[in-house]
Amino acid sequence: MKQRTLGRTGQRVSEIGFGAWAIGGTWGEVSQQDAEAALHAALDAGITFIDTADVYGDGRSEKIIAGVLNQRGGERPFVATKLGRRLSPHVADGYNASNLNAFIDRSQENLQTDTLDLVQLHCPPTEVYYNPEVFAVMDEMVAAGKIRHYGVSVEKVEEGLKALEFPNVSSIQLIYNIFRQRPAELLLREAKRRNVGIIARVPLASGLLTGKMGPDSQFAADDHRAFNRNGEAFDKGETFSGVPYEVALEAVEEIRRFVTGNTTMAMLALRWILMNEDVSVVIPGAKNREQAEANARASDVDALSEETMTALKQIYQEKIAPHVHQRW
């Protein structure tokens, strides 16, 4: 497993991380046994970065991670969590010292640690990025030893660029994949210049870029791919990267011709992200051992050719960009 540095944290992490949303909830049923097996497999494969959030299963994801890490013992991986989405209503005023400290305390309890490695504001309202007091609260929590580093998880490129203005933001998490290429135009480069880590989420476009979905694919009622296609529950860009399902399926068929040898489409999609050296870590999710092992193997995939990269950019520009490029 190859390693990269997570921005100004200075932490070396595996370039493939473990996205722990699916083991928490809203991806259909994932048993405790499968969730634990997926996490064990990821760690066995050399993954040293785990990304979770306090709302993933209302703490279930964090608690599963704590249980597995305590069972394994030894050196702990770097665990990033998020806060803010437990607010109801989810409004900018809720990002205050009282609420943020309460969220931190809860995540510390769930993850069974006195100091959280990295805490990210979890896709807050855009106004939060214009409120220095919020970032001052995060600075105070670092000074108090409650957290080591903090960052932001953003919906929009513009939010990421604004976050870079705060000097102690250590990382930016954002959607970056073959179906969401705009961040590479400016944001990733600016983050690298300022030594801010980039965590690439939704790398497989909610599974579309595995190449295993079709027009008749069915999703469980509690799977966001069934209930959030138009943003009914949260930002629609989190589901299938905001691309209309039928349009995405057409693009997937064009991408399929670049999958060769023992490489799967999912591995190709993950390798495409890693071709950008400004990315610190990519965090595919896994609902079982097999998915976690397959994700980890993407670190061994050969670099994509210039011809393939050009072709994938053209597919994006012609098929996908009109639907997503200026929205996020």
What are the Cα distances from residue 214, in Å, to 80, 102, 149, 231, 258? 33, 43, 41, 21, 19
176 counts as catalytic: no
Q: Cis ω on the peptide bond leading into residue 167 (within 30° of 0)?
A: no
Q: Would strands 169-175 and 49-51 be described as parallel, antiparallel, or unpaired?
A: unpaired
Residue 205 CA to residue 128 CA, distance in Å, equals 26
Residue 50 CA to residue 19 CA, distance in Å, equals 6
Query: For 179, what's the count of Cα atoms within 13 Å in the CB-facing half-sphere?
Result: 31
Region of residue 255 (phi > 0: left; psi between -120 and 50: alpha; otherwise: beta): alpha
What own/partner pairs with CB < 8 Å and gap ≥ 24 does 66-69 have? 66/110, 66/111, 66/112, 66/113, 67/36, 68/36, 68/39, 68/40, 68/43
Tokens of 99: 């609420």
Report the SS3 class of residue 297. Answer: helix
Alpha helices by DSSP H, the chain: 32-44, 60-72, 97-111, 132-143, 157-163, 187-193, 224-227, 245-255, 265-274, 289-297, 306-315, 321-324
Report the SS3 class of residue 118. Answer: strand
Residue 174 CA to residue 12 CA, distance in Å, equals 19
Report the catalytic residues.
Answer: 56
